[in-house]
């Protein structure tokens, strides 16, 4: 698959290496050249220096023919906006967004975006590790706690 | 009317001042506590709130649920987008307006249903462009929640419509040429008006057809 990843932080770089190890064609969009060291010296990823909010960088990343787009910067709003540009303007339907704020993740999930909230995933897996129950599918972790609802 | 503004920069501050002067109920949300304090001393404590306007808890406490208008004027397009989108979809705010800093982002704002956007960069650019070359369409205002645009255009010597009667023009649907500024005089346009070089033409055009209008008025290719 042709994969475009916006953000070469810890999540983005790890995902890029994992997917390219499986033979997928990975392009990373990253603004900060220093962040690319996270990929190590021996990777197969294409690099586009720029922002996933800019048409120029998106087009250079090959978004028009991409199968999937991941928005993985540290900015929730940046991720949410990039995801919507990619889906609405470039027609890439398969989009995954990292959203740190559980409420915002929930709101955009309701709007039809696949939002992963890392805190909910980590906490849920830790809970199951402690309790000793088998790990569950991602969707059972990736939800907003009742208590947090506004 | 209850109006919530997000972002206490210059735009947010002056907007809040003007709206308060018109006796609206105004709340300006600013993220930086120290800056918010300065704003509060100018606008009144009750009109300023410290918080991140993108967060749902802040939105709840600010009263997004009863707001008539939410205006997001931070310097970051992604923040303005999320504020407006949440105001619309989570809180059902009737009217939302966003400042758009990068004109290329405007399209996405419209696609997600934020009808009213203000792009200072786009307006200034159009004004400069008009100074450099005629036949450039400059947006001067929005009507019908942004679905209609009021635009002005100066007819250059090579414009395809110079010397023609208005009734002979094939205009885009629902487009009206309303007014011409000629030799410092305003003239109401009707079918018999003959357009001249140098006319400053004011038109109302559906947003989707602004580009078509440009085609009609632009220099003829023959």
pLDDT value for B211: 82
Task: Inspect the interface and report whether the beta carbons of B108 and A101 lie closer than 8 Å.
Answer: no
Distance in Å, alpha carbon of B201 to nearest chain A alpha carbon: 33
- Flag the least confident range among B89-98, B137-146, B173-182, B188-197: B137-146
What distance in Å separates residue A80's CA from the closest CA in chain B? 8
Answer whether B56 sits within 8 Å of A75, measured CB to CB. Answer: no
Higher pLDDT, B220 or A88: A88
- pLDDT-based confidence at residue B183 (cuts at 50, 70, 90): confident
Check pLDDT > 80 for residue B131.
Answer: no
CB pairs under 8 A between A and B: 58
Please give the pLDDT value at position B138: 76
Residues A35-65 pLDDT 10s: 999 999 999 999 999 999 999 999 999 999 9
The SS3 assignment for B44 reads coil
Q: Which residues of B touch A111 (CB under 8 A)?
A: 85, 89
The arithmetic mean of pLDDT across residues B40-60, rounded, is 97
Q: How far is the alpha carbon of B106 from chain A, nearest alpha carbon, in Å?
A: 11
pLDDT at B144: 66
Asked if A104 and B82 come within 8 Å (Cβ–Cβ), the reply is: yes
Q: Is the pLDDT of residue A25 over 90?
A: yes
Q: Å from A85 to nearest chain B CA?
A: 6
User: For residue B164, what pLDDT is reported?
Assistant: 93
* pLDDT, averaged across chain B: 89
User: Model confidence over B103-122: pLDDT tens digits?
Assistant: 899 999 999 988 788 887 77
Mutation choice for B interface testing from A7, A53, A99 by most B CBs within 10 A: A53
Contact indicator for B69, B4 with CB cutoff of 8 Å: yes
Query: Which carries the bigger pLDDT value, residue B145 or residue B140?
Result: B140
Instruction: Check whether B22 has a pLDDT greater than 80.
Output: yes
pLDDT surpassing 70 at residue B221: no
Q: Do A75 and B78 touch (CB under 8 A)?
A: yes
The DSSP string of chain A is -EEEEE--SHHHHHHHHHHHHTT-EEEEEES-GGGGGGG-SS---EEEES-TTSHHHHHHTTGGG-SEEEE-SS-HHHHHHHHHHHHHTT----EEEE-SSHHHHHHHHHTT-EEE-HHHHHHHHHHHHHHTPPP--HHHHSS--GGG--
Q: Which residues of B touch A (CB under 8 A)?
A: 54-57, 60, 76-79, 81-82, 85-86, 89-90, 102, 104-105, 107-108, 111-112
Asked if the Cβ–Cβ distance from A101 to B57 is below 8 Å, we say no
Confidence of residue B21 (pLDDT cuts 50, 70, 90): very high
Q: In the 8-state DSSP scheme, what is residue B94?
A: S
Residues in A whose CB is inside 8 Å of some CB of B read: 53-55, 75-78, 80-81, 84-85, 88-89, 101, 103-104, 107, 110-111, 150
Res B115: pLDDT: 74
pLDDT, position B154: 87
Q: How far is CA B149 from CA A8, A113, B204, in A?
A: 41, 32, 6
Residues A114, A105: Cα–Cα separation, whole Å: 9
**Dist CA B139 CA A131 (whole Å):** 62
Mean pLDDT score across all residues of chain A: 96
pLDDT for A62-78, tens place per residue?
999 999 999 999 999 99
User: How many percent of chain B have pLDDT more than 90?
Assistant: 63
ipTM of the complex: 0.93
B129 band by pLDDT with thresholds 50, 70 and 90: confident
Residue B113 confidence (pLDDT): 86
B192-215 confidence digits (pLDDT tens) = 999 999 899 999 998 888 888 888
Cβ-based neighbours of B221, under 8 Å, separated by 6 or more = none
Higher pLDDT, B134 or A99: A99
| Per-residue confidence band for B220, with pLDDT thresholds at 50, 70 and 90 | low
Q: Tens of pLDDT along A85-128? A: 999 999 999 999 999 999 999 999 999 999 999 999 999 999 99
């Amino acid at each position: 698959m042709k994969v475009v990843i916006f953000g070469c932080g810890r999540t983005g770089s790890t995902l890029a290496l994992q997917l390219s190890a499986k033979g997928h064609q990975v392009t990373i969009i990253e603004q900060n050249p220093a962040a690319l060291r996270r990929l190590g010296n021996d990777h197969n990823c294409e690099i586009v220096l720029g922002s996933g909010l800019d048409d120029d960088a998106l087009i250079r990343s090959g978004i028009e023919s991409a199968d999937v787009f991941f928005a993985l910067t540290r900015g929730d709003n940046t991720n949410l906006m990039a995801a919507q540009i990619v889906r609405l303007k470039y027609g890439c339907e398969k989009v995954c967004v990292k959203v740190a704020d559980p409420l915002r993740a929930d709101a955009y999930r309701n709007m039809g975006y696949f939002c992963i909230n890392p805190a909910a995933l980590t906490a849920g897996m830790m809970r199951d590790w402690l309790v000793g129950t088998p790990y569950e599918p991602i969707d059972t972790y990736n939800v907003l706690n009742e208590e947090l609802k506004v | 009317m209850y109006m919530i503004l997000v972002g206490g920069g210059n735009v947010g501050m002056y907007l809040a001042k003007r709206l308060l002067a018109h006796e609206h109920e105004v709340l300006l949300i600013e993220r930086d506590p120290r800056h918010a304090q300065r704003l509060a001393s100018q606008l009144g404590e009750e009109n300023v709130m410290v918080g991140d306007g993108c967060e749902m808890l802040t939105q709840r406490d600010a009263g997004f649920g009863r707001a008539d208008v939410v205006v997001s004027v931070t310097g970051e397009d992604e923040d303005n987008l999320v504020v407006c989108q949440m105001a619309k979809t989570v809180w059902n705010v009737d009217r939302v307006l966003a400042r758009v800093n990068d004109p290329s982002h405007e399209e996405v704002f419209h696609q997600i249903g934020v009808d009213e956007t203000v792009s200072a960069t786009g307006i200034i650019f159009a004004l400069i462009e008009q100074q450099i070359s005629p036949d450039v369409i400059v947006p001067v205002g929005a009507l019908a929640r942004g679905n209609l645009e009021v635009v002005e255009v100066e007819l250059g010597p090579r414009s395809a419509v110079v010397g023609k009667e208005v009734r002979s023009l094939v205009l885009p649907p629902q487009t009206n040429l309303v007014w011409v500024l000629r030799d410092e005089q305003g003239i109401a346009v009707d079918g018999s008006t003959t357009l001249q070089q140098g006319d400053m033409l004011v038109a109302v055009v559906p947003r989707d057809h602004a580009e078509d209008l440009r085609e009609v008025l632009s220099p003829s290719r023959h």
